[in-house]
A and B are shown apart, each in its own frame.
Chain A
Amino acid sequence: RANSVDPDEYRDANDTVDPYLRAHVHSLVAALGGPSPVKGGGYVLGDEAQYVLRDLKKWLRAYDEKLNRLDVARCLAESKLVGNDLVEILASWPEDKVEDRRWYRLALSCLELLVPLTWPLERREEMTVNHHRHITYLEYAQTGYKRAILHHRSRKVLKNCVKIALPSLAVPLKERESRDDNIIRLVLYFLRNIAAIRHPDPTEDDTGEDIGRDATIKAFEKDNVLHLMLAISSGMGEDFNVQDVPVSEILFHLLKGVNMKELFMTETQLANKEKENLASLLALEKGMDIARNRDGPTRHNRFGTQIMLTRENGKTATISGQDVLASKEKGLQKIDSSKKWRKPKGGKRQSHEDVYVPVHLSTSAKKIMREFVENFIDAGFNPLFHHIRKDIARDEDRFATSHVRVFFYLVAWFLEAERMRREAALRDNPKEVADSFSIIASVMNQETLIIIQKHMKKWWELKMWSELESVMKCFTQILLTVQDMAASPFEEDQEIAENIQSRIFYEESTLDLVHTILRGYTTQTFDYLNIITELTHVHTKMLERYSKQNTHMFVRAKKSKSSKKKKDATDKNDDSEPEIQQENSTALKEKAFDFKRFEAKLLNNSSVDSFVTFLSYYKELDYSQIKRALSFFHRVFVKRKMEIALYRLDIVELFYRIMQDSEGLPPTHPAYKELDQFTKYLIKCLVRKLQTTPCLYVELLFSKIPKTAYYLMHGRDQEIETRA
């Protein structure tokens, strides 16, 4: 009866996978091959290696994919298949046997295993217990895979993987069969996976630097991956077709978070910048020292000073600490800071994505990237983005939302890089005439604007914030590029710029959308807030200038009557100006105060709130960001004379804190002076107003009611006039 022992009895309840499965997989892995016992013998393939690889692939497909578990992947990670076997096999593909059928099939089989094993592990909603059990382990395992691939001692694993695609790439598009397409796709997805893998949780001991962006870029350069990318993207549409999605994803994973400004700096500039960074950090520290010396204790911490604050109504409050002796203000601050209760905060939405986490590259990696970016803009930008844009516009099913988002992100990134490059060229060589903008023409057209506006609207309505972020970023960069184009010496560029502006500022609904998004800011992330404020800033400025230059500006509004529709129709059919001027004067009149109406819609309580929230991050903002907020407030306060919108205690308190508090900005900050001027002006006007309009003392606490705002603004007399 000894034979009838139930094997399940011996199974460990805590075991992560079925032991039978593990045994199967391990025996397969063992049969694949192993290191030679002879010294210097290298890796020896098992007799049936090709079949073993096929079986492993079947396991992955039939068990993991079909049943939606990750058990086989886990077993393969435990058996170190990638590091001990697959990488070794790929590395030992001899140079002289590139044409060899057997080796080619072997390498391809390895790749077919590597792609699912390195596939990004997404935390989705329909995850099973198994997923939760394995994902963390597998994430660490994947970093190991990446390390093994990038740093194999032969240094040619990636190169050999690229080699697999070469025969298929050589086949002309028309003769290419689906098998060839699959092989190319396999290689590209493999590269995408490698680029996307990052350390899940870097620590001091395990920084993940060896698989970081820097290492990836260097390896990609050395193993011809970057060349492959250039070749495919520049031949997009002619020699290639469906490869646009993986290529753009590889680019995205290589470029996200890279600061293009630094790429286009010379070495001396970089060195200077680093010096400046250090200097500003030191200045900041010094400022902290000064603040501590000013506010800090002058005696030991048990000196035990106690102060009684007596109020006019006889109430008293006791505060301890000698620093309170200095001023009444300090005392009030202390009372406040000793309060324990905090207003419950609504959960802030934090993105877990690393899209905007800045990446630091070494000088050599920067050089590689710069060269690549320049080559890409010159050769690959137009074909690739033209192709993707065309298909997105056609609503092709192969574009998931994430792909569209990657497209917008990349377009924005490269447009900004191109502007930086122009700036750098101008800086190095001011006399040289800049190139024409035709190298980025594929996105500077009506079609791109249409998909941008469409997606902005769609994602806004669906509340897809991170996607909305990418498309707004793209729109902002297009606007900035148009601005540069208008200043170009080439007539053609100027014409295009003019044309685009007239298109952008033609639809009233899209003009309004920018406001709506700004006003709709609630609890999204800081990056989102940063982008909406930037977009609003750039958009409003350009529109203001444009409407000044073009006194005959038409906007297509929603509520157009039938007569107006006809006008629009003529406007649409021929763009010639004289025709329009012959129109009757009512149309002209409407355009004349068009910008003011637009601006009035922009400047309201909610958008003020958005900018106030933005400014409250003042410690992390740089000069241009503070400038952006200030110019908005300046527009509200001085240009539009809507002072009443800023007469709010929380706003006054924020400005006062920035300028005067020990928590505020150091006087060495570049934006300090401008902030100082504005704050003083704001307070001055407010004090004057308070003395003439005592009811403002109460209203100061609230956002104003539109009905009464006019009275508060202008005093009583005008109010009566408007009523009469």
Chain B
Amino acid sequence: KKDSMAGVDDEVKIAKRKLRAKLDADRLLGPNGLEKIRKDAPKKLKFKGKGHEYKDCAKLLAFYQLWAHDLFPKAKFRDTLSMIEKLGHNRRIQVARTYYIDEDKRAKAK
């Protein structure tokens, strides 16, 4: 490549557009996705129960908001929620969800 004349033989580089980050099944099933909720949520969320409904709810929402921020930082919380809800119809996500529930059943059975 060094001795090519005036770069004639250089490969022409076509600038590719950067891939846009997408919230898809891969991301949702990744390490920051549903797995993380399963791992963290029961540990981190301590509810106060009766009489503290709004505080409990704020806690719950804050947990999910931070989780959503880590998962897909560019979208607002509410948008993320609706995108995830839509992804719920995806085959792979459904399989994963059923698996989690079955896991839960097995854990209870022990």
Q: Is the CB of B101 within 8 A of A683?
A: no
Taking the closest CB of chain A, its distance from the CB of B45, in whole angstroms, is 8
Flag the segment in B2-10, B11-19, B60-68 that touches A: B60-68
Is the pair B47, A691 in contact by a Cβ cutoff of 8 Å?
yes
Q: In whole angstroms, what is the CA distance A711 to B79 when docked?
A: 29
Tell whether, in the assembled complex, residue B101 and residue A336 are in contact, meaning their CB atoms are under 8 Å apart.
no
A680 cross-chain contacts in B, Cβ below 8 A: 53-54
> Is B24's beta carbon under 8 Å from chain A?
no
Given A694-B41, A697-B38: A339 in contact with B62 (beta carbons within 8 A): no
A701 on the B face (CB < 8 A): yes
Q: Pick the contact of A656 from B38, B58, B76, B100 — CB < 8 Å? A: B58
Give bound CA distance, A643 to B4, whole Å. 73
Q: Does A707 contact B (CB under 8 A)?
A: yes
Q: Which of A671-721 contact B (CB under 8 A)?
A: 679-680, 683-684, 687-688, 690-691, 693-695, 697-703, 705, 707-708, 711-712, 716, 719
Chain A proximity of B20: nearest CB distance (Å) = 10
Contact A660 B81 (CB under 8 A): no
Tell whether A166 is near chain B: CB-to-CB under 8 Å. no
Residue of B57, B73, B105 with most chain A CB atoms under a 10 A cut-off: B57
Chain A residue numbers with a CB within 8 Å of B42 are: 694, 697
Chain B residue numbers with a CB within 8 Å of A271 are none
- CB of B61, distance to nearest CB on chain A (Å): 6
Closest to A650 in B: B81
By a CB distance below 8 angstroms, the chain A residues around B82 are 343, 650
Chain B residues lying within 8 Å of A703, measured Cβ to Cβ, are 85, 88
CB pair A653–B61 under 8 Å, yes or no, is yes
Say whether A342 faces chain B, with CB atoms less than 8 Å apart: yes
Count of chain A residues with a beta carbon within 8 Å of a chain B beta carbon: 47
- Given A339-B75, A342-B76, A687-B49, do A652 and B57 touch, yes or no (CB 8 Å)? yes
A199 close to chain B: CB less than 8 A: no
Query: Do A687 and B108 form a contact, CB below 8 Å, given A653-B61, A660-B58, A705-B97?
Result: no
Is the pair A701, B41 in contact by a Cβ cutoff of 8 Å?
A: no
Known contacts A341-B75, A343-B83, A653-B78: A687-B56 contact under CB 8 Å: yes
Q: Which residues from chain A contact B100 at a C-beta distance below 8 Å?
A: 695, 698
Q: Which B67-110 residues sit within 8 Å CB-CB of chain A?
A: 69-70, 73-79, 81-85, 88, 93-94, 97-98, 100-101, 103-105, 108-109
Residues from chain B with a CB closer than 8 A to the CB of A340 are 74
A312, A337, A659, A698: the one contacting B54 at CB < 8 Å is: A659
Contacts of A337 in B (CB 8 A): 76
Q: How many angstroms from the CA of A690 to the CA of B37 in the assembled complex?
A: 13
Q: Is there contact, CB below 8 Å, between B57 and A650?
A: no
Distance A711 CA – B74 CA, assembled complex (angstroms):
35
- In the bound complex, what is the Cα–Cα distance between A684 and B79 (angstroms)? 25
Within 8 Å of chain B (Cβ to Cβ): is A328? yes
**A701 and B84 form a contact (CB under 8 A):** yes
Query: Per a CB cutoff under 8 Å, which of A652, A660, A679, A695 touches B101?
Result: A695
- Total interface residues on B, CB under 8 Å, equals 47
Taken together as a complex, chains A and B put the C-alpha atoms of A9 and B57 apart, in Å, by: 78
Complexed CA–CA distance, A452 and B17 (Å):
55
Q: How far is the CB of A189 from chain B (nearest CB, A)?
A: 49
Inter-chain CA distance A680–B60, complex, in Å, is 14
A691 — which chain B residues lie within 8 A by C-beta? 47
Q: Which residues of A contact B60 (CB under 8 A)?
A: 652, 687, 690
Residues of B within 8 A of A702 (CB): 84-85, 88, 93, 97
B47's closest neighbor in chain A, by CB? A687
Mark A12-30 against chain B: 1 for CB-CB distance below 8 A, else 0.
0000000000000000000
CA distance A501 to B70 in the complex (A): 56
A705 to B102, CA, bound (A): 13
Is A698 a contact of B108 with CB atoms below 8 Å?
A: no
Chain B residues near A694 (CB, 8 Å)? 38, 41-42, 104
Chain A residues lying within 8 Å of B41, measured Cβ to Cβ, are: 694, 697
With contacts A650-B85, A695-B100 taken as known, whether A328 is within 8 angstroms of B62 at the C-beta atoms is yes
B34 is an interface residue with CB less than 8 A from chain A: yes
Interface 1/0 per residue, A523-551 and B, CB below 8 Å: 00000000000000000000000000000
Instruction: Tell me if B50 counts as interface (CB < 8 A to partner A).
Output: yes
Contact A679 B85 (CB under 8 A): no
Task: State which residues 357-373 of A face B: CB under 8 Å.
Answer: none
A641-666: CB near B (< 8 Å → 1, else 0) gives: 00000001110110010011000000
Which residue of chain B is the closest to A317 with respect to CB atoms? B69
* Interchain CB contact under 8 A, A336 and B56: no
A683 partner, pick from B56, B78, B84, beta carbons under 8 A = B56
B75 to chain A, nearest CB (A): 6
Cβ-based interface call for A311 (8 A)? yes
Q: Are A711 and B61 in contact (CB under 8 A)?
A: no
**A291 CB–B CB distance under 8 Å:** no
Whether the pair A701, B62 counts as a contact (CB closer than 8 A) is no
Residues of A within 8 A of B38 (CB): 694-695, 697-698
Contacts of B64 in A (CB 8 A): 649, 700-701
Instruction: Report A315 CB to chain B, min CB distance, Å.
Output: 8
CA distance A10 to B76 in the complex (A): 62
CB nearest neighbor in A for B77: A336
Q: What are the interface flags for A334-360 relative to B under an 8 Å C-beta threshold, 1 for contact and 0 otherwise?
A: 011101111100000000000000000
Q: Which residues of B contact A659 (CB under 8 A)?
A: 54
**A708–B101 CB distance below 8 A:** yes
Is A426 among interface residues, defined by CB-CB distance under 8 A?
Answer: no
A329 is an interface residue with CB less than 8 A from chain B: yes
Asked if A653 meets B81 with Cβ closer than 8 Å, knowing A332-B65, A703-B88, A712-B101, the reply is: yes
Q: Could you say which residues of chain A place their CB within 8 Å of the CB of B66?
A: 311, 332
B73 smallest CB distance to A (angstroms): 8
Closest 4 CB pairs of A and B: A702-B88, A695-B104, A343-B79, A697-B41
22 contacts between A and B (CB under 8 A): A328-B62, A329-B62, A339-B75, A341-B74, A341-B79, A343-B82, A650-B82, A660-B54, A679-B53, A684-B50, A684-B53, A687-B53, A690-B60, A695-B103, A697-B37, A697-B38, A697-B41, A698-B34, A701-B64, A702-B84, A702-B85, A711-B101
Q: A329-B58, A650-B82 are in contact. List 8 more A-B contacts (CB 8 A).
A: A312-B44, A337-B76, A660-B58, A683-B53, A684-B53, A687-B47, A687-B56, A716-B108
